[in-house]
Structure 1
Amino acid sequence: MDAYEGFASVYDVFMDEVDYPAWVQYIKDTWKNLNTMPQSVVDLGCGTGNITIPLAKAGYGVVGVDISEEMLAEAQRKAMAEGLSIPFFCQDMVEMELPYQVDCVLSLCDSLNYLTEDGELSAAFSAVKEHLNPKGLFLFDMNTKYKFQEVFGDKTYAAMTEDAAYFWENSFDEEDQINEYYVSFFIRQKNKETYERVEEYHYERAYSLDEVKTCLDEHGFSLLNIYDGYSFERAKEDSHRYFFVAQLKEEN
């Protein structure tokens, strides 16, 4: 089963610890610090629209892109409930092909870590470049090796609500730099006392700062800042998440 197929229906329930409003405000503050105000935005790896929808409500022209049809269906349902008409595209980020260019591309919630094969990160950066206006911004986050190795490690986690539960077994392969999540969900069936079990495997790759910097440079980006998560503090060796601020260089 593809990642997030079974999880889509309960994704927001188990991600409620993420302060999405704070993330949206952080994006706005980042733009403000750069003295820019993008009019058009692509949310790459948008999931169920937890960033896309608030930005649209704030008046930005935003488009959502994700590889999961199930996640996009949930995002569309939520957008319609808010009375919003947001274009959503089901595409792989390494092959993104939209009919226009934008002022800023966002890729949040460690979406880029899901690019585990050699060359995929480069392909994604190339696709982002092709969809940016001159001097366009590329803002993205990534889980760090420290987080995979020292925080998640070889541990097991569990969570439950009234209608769902999950068990998550984590492991990190030092040689391949791949973090594996095995997740087993139990989702209560509507109007029933039975639960459906869904199993998924998720894989994320740890990229070094040098790898990311080199890849950005190869595709014509200037790296403006690397922050410690969703703060404006400098990234550290023990950061759990890096936040990158890059801008497309002017062509000579």
Structure 2
Amino acid sequence: MESYGKFASVYDMFQDNVNYREWTEYIVETLAQDEIKDGLVLELGCGTGTVTEMLAEAGYDMIGIDNSEEMLAEAMEKRVESGHNILYLLQDMQDFELYGTVRAVISVCDSMNYLTDEEDLEYVFALVNNYLDPGGLFVFDMNTIHKYRDVIGDTTIAEDREDGSFIWENSYDQEKNLNVYELALFLPREDGLYEKCEEEHVQRAYSIETIKRMIEKAGMELVAVYDAYTRNPGDENCERLTFIAREHGKSAENEYHGRIPERAGHTEE
């Protein structure tokens, strides 16, 4: 997975069109339907901690995991301002570790799409299942094939702001379902000139059936698939989907039998 570098300092500014408050209210409502109204909740790919902070405000004991030091630095600045007791961990989603289980795991802003290898995504689902309390929920969103192929694929997005500008070029590989973001940032310096920074981000789209199969293989049940942050049924024609999965016993019938599976480079103790 690619980390956010220089972009971290201006990420929130360029994401001001995202209604994080509405997303958080949706997550809180979803968790409350399963009587998860407090306790430990983990956010994977927490970024600058915007949603993490809002969930802490709603009464949850939050843990945030991200693999970008720069993004977590922004999140910890927010923690100082809010005074919330949030635990931030610099870890990769593909190998995250906790000291115990949590009542729910969430992931927003298509963080799961950064897992471009099917085996890696399947492994993350198994880790989530391993760290969920019995009956715990996993709520996450993902961009769809339709969005990458028909909406943003092979397009260029540019924005010019007082505190910085960017050019975001997309290219979509239909055969591999990979979308490559070539990001050029222009950030003002104290001497009045602009510094150009470049980053590349790669995301992959998965079909609903593929996600369902992975969720079930990991030991969870897929409860619902919605058009993102609504209660409308989701399908392949949506641009973003919200998936809701539930841990349901880690039974011996599931391939992983309630344990973290082995894979290349990993061994069980």
1:3, 1:158 → 2: CA distance? 21
Q: What is the root-mean-square deviation in Å for CA atoms of aligned residues? A: 1.4
Contact 2:144-2:236 within 8 A present in 1 as well: no
Corresponding residue number in structure 1 for 2:127: 127
Distance in structure 1 (CA, Å) of the matches to 2:44 and 2:30: 18
For 1:1-252, list aligned pairs within 5 A.
Answer: 2-189=2-189, 191-252=190-251
In 2: Cα distance, 1:113 partner to 1:79 partner: 27
Partner Cα separation in structure 2 for residue 22 and residue 48 of structure 1: 17
Tell me how far apart the structure 1 counterparts of residues 83 and 97 of structure 2 sit (CA, whole Å): 27
Corresponding residue SS for 1:55: helix
Which secondary structure does the structure 1 equivalent of 2:70 belong to? Answer: helix
| Kept after mapping to 2: 8 A contact 1:164/1:188 | yes
Normalising by the residue count of structure 2, what TM-score does the alignment of the two structures yield? Answer: 0.90
Distance 2:200 2:8 in 1: 14
The CA distance in 2 between the partners of 1:158 and 1:87, in whole Å, is 35
- Return the TM-score normalized by structure 1: 0.96
Number of equivalences: 251
The one-letter code of the counterpart of 1:165 is S
Q: Give the Å deviation of 1:236.
A: 2.6
Query: Unmatched 5+ residue regions in structure 2?
Result: 252-269
Distance 2:225 2:90 in 1: 29
Q: Structure 2: how far apart are the matches of 1:199 and 1:24?
A: 31
Counterpart secondary structure, 1:171: strand
* Identical residues among aligned pairs (%): 42
Paired with 2:226 and 2:48, the residues of 1 have a C-alpha distance of 25
Following superposition, the deviation at residue 28 of structure 1 comes to: 1.2
8-17 or 128-137, which deviates more: 128-137
1:120-154 CA distance string (max 9 Å, x none): 10111111112111111111100000000111021
CA distance in 1, matches of 2:15, 2:64: 19
CA distance in 2, matches of 1:137, 1:211: 19
- The alpha-carbon deviation at position 86 of structure 1 amounts to 1.2
Q: Aligned equivalents of 2:204 and 2:47: distance in 1? A: 19
Given residue 180 of structure 2, which amino acid in structure 1 is its aligned partner? E
Which sits farther off after the overlay, 31-40 or 155-164? 31-40
Whole-angstrom distance in 1 between the partners of 2:191 and 2:101: 47
What secondary structure sits across from 1:28 in the alignment? helix
2:244 and 2:71 map into 1 onto residues whose CA distance is 26
After superposition, what is the alpha-carbon deviation per residue over 1:223-246, rounded to whole angstroms, capped at 9, x for unaligned? 110000110100033101010010
Q: 2:168 is aligned with what amino acid?
A: W
Q: C-alpha separation between the residues in 1 aligned to 2:113 and 2:2? A: 16
Task: Report if the CA contact (8 A) 1:93-1:127 is conserved.
Answer: no
Cα pair 1:179 1:205 within 8 Å, conserved: yes
Q: SS in structure 2 opposite 1:212?
A: helix
Unaligned residue ranges in structure 1 (runs of 5+): none
Q: For residues 230 and 211 of structure 1, what CA distance do their matches in structure 2 show? A: 21
